[in-house]
Structure formats: structure tokens, C-alpha cells
Structure 1
Amino acid sequence: MGDLAFSATSEDEKGKPVRHLLLTVTNTGKKKCRLYEYPYLKFPNAREAITVIKDSKDAPPTLAPGEKAHAALLGTGGRMDTYDTNTIPLSLQGPDPDGKMSGPVDISLPGQVAFDDGARVTYWTTASGLALRFIMSS
């Protein structure tokens, strides 16, 4: 993951609690790279990883140097047992859905974000608006 840079931005109104996030990965290397599936997000003490929104599945993006891909993340679905944090561990998946993943890298969030069992993430896509469409009505 050395040739990739990650960021997270809030898609909520300024002054409102952060619930809707856009995760962005930028290819900072000199070669093309492919992203598979979705960002695997699992907190150290969580029983399960954040659930993917199946309807958001798209073709795996291939990023040329300097290109970006996005995934949308809904932090809280209004359920109980929230976990407040300002970072999230992200792992990248390989071409085999049950295969090896990269080690997690901690992504800084835009402030303190509450997560709960209703959290959801989309598949990677090169269109940020497409990714956000799946979480903005939640």
C-alpha cells in the first residue's frame, strides 16, 4: 500500500455530526494498480467488519498514476453500542474474495465519528457521486 494515499472527508453539513464519509484512495506510484471489492473496515475489538452495501458493486477500478477511487461510508445507522473514533483501520482486498488482504492502515477521519452496527460501506468506484448515492439517503 506504499504507492497509495488514503483520505476521508465528511459529506455532512458543517456543524452537524459526521455520519456520511467519502473515502478516497489515490495512486501515488508510477504503475497502474487495481482495487478489488471494497475497503475492508474492522475495528480491533469488533466482532465483524463493517457491512458492504451489495447493490453498490461495480467493476474493480484500475487506477493509473495520479487517479483516484472512492468508497462511501455511513458511520452510524441509528443503532446502539456506538464506538467513537477519529481513525479507522482499512485493509485492501485481493482478487480472491476469500484471499489475503493487506495489513490495515489507520485512516484519519475528519474529527470524532460515531460508528455502530448500522455502519455500511460501498464498493470502490471511480465516481464519487455514485458511491455517495448509496449512503446519503440514510
Structure 2
Amino acid sequence: MAAPLNRPVNHMLLTVTNTGSRACFLYGYPSVQFTDAQSEPPVIEDSQPQAVVTLEPGQSGYAAVSLSATDGSGKDGRTAKSLTVYFYGRSMSGNVGKGAHPSLPAKGAYIDDSLKVTYWQQSMSDATNW
């Protein structure tokens, strides 16, 4: 699920839930691709957690996406209408499985070249601190 946040402004929260019957792991950070994006946004290095996020069945993990600069300093601003989220494997050398396609708000999501993501976090509050 992708949902806009009121605070911090210009951010979106990604939520993934383990719907399986065994524990799963969220390695690193989400690989996000908005409509027609040419590259993957960089990760906010300071957001790296102490350990790999482990999700027991029914648990959720979180990452925040900083969509655009709050001071208007970002360049190449545009409205994205679609989002694909890919997941890294343990080696962080490539995506595993199929990408997820969470819905964006009907009006889309405004992004610019300051776009960044956090590492996956065990708690929503940790994800939204960045």
C-alpha cells in the first residue's frame, strides 16, 4: 500500500504485509519506479536500521518516500500516475519476485529530482522520521 502523509510533507508511506504462513524478510530498501522514471531513487543512508526487518505472518513493514523538495529547490517536477515497488534479496544485487503496483491517489503523486527512499523499517514511526 502507498499512502500520502501529512507529516512530513511531500512524503508517502509504503506498507507491506506478510500474508504468508512463514516469516519473511525485507532486505535493504524498496526499489521504487514511478511512471517513466529513468532510474531508481537513492536511499537515505542514515535511515538504515540495526537489523534486517523480519515480518512474522500478519506483520507489516514500512518505508517512506520523500517525493519532492519542500522548499521548491527540486528540478524536473512532474506528476506520476503509477508506481511499481520491487524488493531486493539478501545479496542486494537484484530484485526478487514480481513488483508490487500500489495505487497512487487519483490525482497522482508530485515528484521531482530530490526523490529519495528510506530503508525498510519495523515500525511506521521509524519510517516517518526521515
TM-score (norm 1): 0.81
Equivalent runs, 1:119-134 vs 2, <5 Å: 119-134=115-130
**Residue aligning to 2:110:** 114
Shift in Å, 1:70: 0.3
Count how many residue pairs are aligned between Structure 1 and Structure 2.
124
Q: 2:82 aligns with which of 80, 83, 87?
A: 87
Q: Which moved more, 1:20-29 or 1:76-85?
A: 76-85
The answer on whether the counterparts of 1:71 and 1:125 sit within 8 Å (CA) in structure 2 is yes
SS at match of 2:3: strand
- 1:51–1:123 distance in 2 versus 1, CA, 3 Å: same
- 1:126–1:46 distance in 2 versus 1, CA, 3 Å: same
CA distance in 2, matches of 1:21, 1:44: 15
CA distance in 1, matches of 2:11, 2:118: 12
SS at match of 1:9: strand
**Aligned sequence identity (%):** 35
Q: 2:12 aligns with which of 7, 13, 21?
A: 21
CA distance in 1, matches of 2:100, 2:65: 16
Q: 2:96 aligns with which of 89, 95, 101?
A: 101
CA distance in 2, matches of 1:65, 1:26: 8
- 1:103–1:44 distance in 2 versus 1, CA, 3 Å: farther
What runs of 5+ residues in structure 1 fail to find an aligned partner? 1-6
CA distance in 2, matches of 1:21, 1:91: 16
Equivalent runs, 1:27-38 vs 2, <5 Å: 27-38=18-29
TM-score (norm 2): 0.85
CA RMSD of aligned residues (A): 1.8
SS at match of 1:55: helix
- 1:44–1:109 distance in 2 versus 1, CA, 3 Å: closer
The answer on whether the counterparts of 1:19 and 1:113 sit within 8 Å (CA) in structure 2 is no
CA distance in 2, matches of 1:85, 1:43: 6
